[in-house]
Amino acid sequence: METFIIDVPVPSMGATVSELNVIVIKVAAGDRVTKGQRLADLESDKSAFEFESPCDGVIRAVIGKPGATMNSGEPFVQMETSDESMRHLKVHGAAPATPPAPAKPAGAVVWTPRATKLAQEAGLDPAKITDIEATGPGNRVSGDDVQRYLAARKG
């Protein structure tokens, strides 16, 4: 069977969600994956979820990076596959895609979209809050962390 390289895009989560944050990546270049295998954990402003492989294949490049914010439809991984149902994603003579820059500098506190929204609704600037405990996936500030922080400030 002929194999070809595809760009597996960041999934679309509906009309109102265009950006997703990469929490954890579970694969690396050279890994053989099966359809439905977990590639990464992603998060929108509404929920976190497992991003699964759309087909069997071999990961050739991981474009997404932990902590990055990616748009729906952007290439997340490049994969070699023989699955004809994926031919519409075939890369035509293009060099591997360039990974996005990390969303925050190393060591910076990373906030989930929900946490950012809750802080802003409370009149706070997340960039200026340094004394909040981050308990979310990947040591990120979650919405629950913001609610605890706000409750402690009131009390």
86-101 confidence digits (pLDDT tens): 999 998 764 444 555 4
Q: Indicate whether 51 belongs to any domain.
A: yes
Count of structural domains, the chain: 2
Q: Indicate whether 74 belongs to any domain.
A: yes
CATH code for the domain of 56: 2.40.50.100
pLDDT band of residue 26 (cuts 50, 70, 90) is very high
Residues 75 and 121 in one domain: no
pLDDT band of residue 1 (cuts 50, 70, 90) is confident
Q: Is residue 6 scored above 80 in pLDDT?
A: yes
pLDDT at 107: 56
Residues 74 and 141 in one domain: no
The stretch 39-60 carries a mean pLDDT of 90
Residues 8 and 80 in one domain: yes
pLDDT at 25: 93
Residues 84 and 10 in one domain: yes
Q: Is residue 14 scored above 60 in pLDDT?
A: yes
Identify the burial level of 7 via C-beta atoms within 10 angstroms of its C-beta, where 0-12 means exposed, 13-18 middle and 19 or more buried. Answer: buried
Q: What is the pLDDT of residues 98-138, one digit of tens each?
A: 555 454 454 567 787 788 888 888 888 888 888 888 887 66
The stretch 135-145 carries a mean pLDDT of 80
Residues 73 and 130 in one domain: no
Residues 49 and 125 in one domain: no
Q: Which of 123, 141, 122 is nearest to 131 (CA)?
A: 141
Identify the burial level of 21 via C-beta atoms within 10 angstroms of its C-beta, where 0-12 means exposed, 13-18 middle and 19 or more buried. Answer: buried
Rounded CA-CA distance 77/61 in Å is 6
pLDDT at 93: 67
The stretch 23-34 carries a mean pLDDT of 93
Q: Which of 110, 112, 111, 135 is nearest to 46 (CA)?
A: 112
Residues 17 and 65 in one domain: yes
Q: Indicate whether 107 belongs to any domain.
A: no
Q: Whole domain around residue 66: which residue ranges?
A: 4-89
Residues 18 and 82 in one domain: yes
